[in-house]
């Protein structure tokens, strides 16, 4: 079995081109299916979730061609029917296929989605939006049975600004007859990018990035060529490495607006963040300071996807920090692995209290994608070698985390076979 082997590292230095955003490309791949013509996507990350989505799309008849990090999609011929179970349950984003397949086929049979186990992860808001636009959906034995003979514009109001449900509603609204208004919409950059993609397809979208988005659906959808922006969570991972090890790194492709909610806590810990038109320089020379209190929130708040990374960093801060998780009900699983490394972390309901800790390398297991990355970050501070199993979680969202860290000067970051342990 492959393990991520990581050694302690001193001050970092180097430049990394930050890979394309996983949570931007996945909903855009799904939405490309409502365009019966050609879609060309640039800067697509070569990660497992994208490979899974591509194989799902090919299964249903799409022609998808990779050329380095460019994907060309021809969705003219789609074989309707059931989605293969293993692909649907392998990631959360398979649920994003519901709307486009209802647009193209009128009926969908698919398994409930999988993805990181961060709590219940219901899909009621997705179904609410599609039912408001005319779909009839039932769920039996973890199977979704959905029907829709065309979508009609509607008023949709979410009780929570769900990223995925907002993206689902946008994709259906783009092909719906008439106007759709989405209230309490998610404002994340990944939602804004989907709106930009739909605009390139010829759809009228207003209000992206705010809590109220209006869409005028259209049957005239044209071919699109689109560039995927840098992954803000991968950027936050590099920032976490610099915060723990000190030194400086240049993160090419990162843009300030997408880093809203992320940069501030790193500056509070004593990092310096300087943006220029091509990227972000992140440095830390002084001591690492604690954060007395921070909580995860929907954008533009501190993102839940950076919470595990921050726990790892705060084990090295001089003092006590408190992190509250508001978005997912079970997103502290990485903390229990950090405790195995000697982290002084106390979990009380959805709050974590972290004190400065002397970490020791040992064998730990990645509980999920971002939790796995957090253990790698902790390994950069630990005495001795840390081995992290569950690399399949990490490869869902990182093209080459070990290679990226080596580009920043981390010598001891490799993948190894655990039989050697």
Binding region for ligand EPZ (CB under 6 A) = 22-23, 26, 92-93, 116, 119-126, 160, 162-165, 188, 190, 303-305, 327-328, 369-370, 397
- Closer residue to ligand EPZ (CB): 121 or 355: 121
Minimum separation from the CB atom of position 126 to ligand EPZ (A): 5
For the annotated catalytic residues, the residue numbers are 116
Minimum separation from the CB atom of position 68 to ligand EPZ (A): 23
Minimum separation from the CB atom of position 128 to ligand EPZ (A): 7
Instruction: Give the separation between CA 280 and CA 28, rounded to whole angstroms.
Output: 25
Q: Among 361, 362, 349, 286, which residue's Cα sits nearest to residue 322? A: 349
Contact status, residue 326 vs residue 117, Cβ threshold 8 Å: no
- Closer residue to ligand EPZ (CB): 48 or 370: 370
- Residue 124's alpha-carbon distances to 116, 165, 194, 235, 356, in angstroms, are 18, 9, 21, 31, 41
- Closer residue to ligand EPZ (CB): 8 or 370: 370
- Closer residue to ligand EPZ (CB): 181 or 370: 370
Minimum separation from the CB atom of position 282 to ligand EPZ (A): 20
- Closer residue to ligand EPZ (CB): 334 or 405: 334
Instruction: Give the separation between CA 97 and CA 102, rounded to whole angstroms.
Output: 8
Residue 7 burial (CB < 10 Å; 0-12/13-18/19+)? middle
Instruction: Give the separation between CA 272 and CA 265, rounded to whole angstroms.
Output: 11
- Cis, bond preceding 300 (omega within 30 deg of 0): yes
- Closer residue to ligand EPZ (CB): 165 or 338: 165
Residue showing the smallest CB distance to ligand EPZ in the complex: 164
Minimum separation from the CB atom of position 244 to ligand EPZ (A): 20
- Closer residue to ligand EPZ (CB): 98 or 341: 98
Minimum separation from the CB atom of position 180 to ligand EPZ (A): 17
CB atoms within 10 A of CB 128: 19
CB atoms within 10 A of CB 420: 8
Minimum separation from the CB atom of position 100 to ligand EPZ (A): 15
């Amino acid at each position: 079995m492959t393990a991520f082997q990581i050694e302690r590292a001193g001050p970092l230095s180097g430049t990394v081109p930050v890979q394309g955003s996983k949570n931007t490309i996945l909903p855009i791949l799904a939405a490309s299916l409502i365009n019966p013509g050609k879609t060309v996507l640039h800067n697509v990350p070569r990660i497992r979730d994208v490979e899974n989505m591509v194989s799902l799309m090919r299964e249903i008849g799409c022609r998808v061609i990779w050329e380095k990090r460019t994907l060309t999609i021809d969705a003219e011929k789609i074989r309707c029917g059931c989605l293969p179970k293993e692909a649907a349950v392998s990631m959360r984003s398979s649920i994003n296929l519901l709307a486009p397949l209802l647009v193209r086929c009128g009926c969908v049979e698919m398994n409930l989605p999988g993805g990181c186990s961060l709590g219940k992860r219901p899909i009621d808001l997705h179904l609410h939006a599609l039912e408001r636009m005319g779909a009839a959906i039932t769920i039996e034995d973890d199977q979704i049975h959905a029907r829709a003979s065309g979508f009609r514009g509607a008023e949709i109001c979410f009780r929570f600004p769900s990223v995925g449900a907002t993206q689902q509603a946008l994709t259906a609204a783009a092909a719906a007859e008439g106007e759709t208004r989405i209230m309490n919409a998610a404002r994340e950059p990944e939602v804004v990018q989907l709106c930009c993609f739909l605009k390139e397809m010829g759809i009228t979208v207003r209000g992206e990035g705010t809590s109220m988005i209006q869409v005028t659906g259209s049957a005239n959808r044209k071919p699109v060529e689109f560039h995927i922006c840098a992954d803000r969570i991968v950027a936050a991972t590099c920032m976490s490495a610099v915060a723990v090890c000190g030194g400086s790194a240049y993160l090419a492709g990162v843009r300030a607006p997408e880093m809203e909610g992320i940069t501030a806590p790193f500056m509070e810990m004593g990092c310096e963040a300087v943006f220029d038109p091509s990227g972000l320089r992140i440095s830390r020379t002084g001591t690492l300071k604690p954060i007395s209190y921070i909580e995860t929130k929907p954008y533009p708040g501190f993102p839940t996807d950076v919470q595990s990374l921050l726990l790892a960093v705060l084990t090295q801060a001089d003092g006590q920090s408190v992190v509250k998780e508001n978005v997912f009900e079970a997103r502290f699983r990485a903390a229990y692995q950090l405790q195995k490394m000697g982290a002084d972390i106390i979990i009380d309901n959805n709050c974590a209290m972290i004190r400065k800790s002397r970490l020791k390398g040992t064998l730990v297991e990645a509980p999920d994608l971002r939790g796995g990355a957090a253990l790698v970050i902790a390994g950069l501070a630990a005495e001795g070698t840390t081995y992290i199993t569950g690399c399949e979680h990490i490869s869902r969202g990182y093209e080459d985390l070990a290679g990226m860290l080596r580009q920043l000067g981390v010598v001891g970051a490799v993948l190894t076979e655990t039989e050697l342990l």
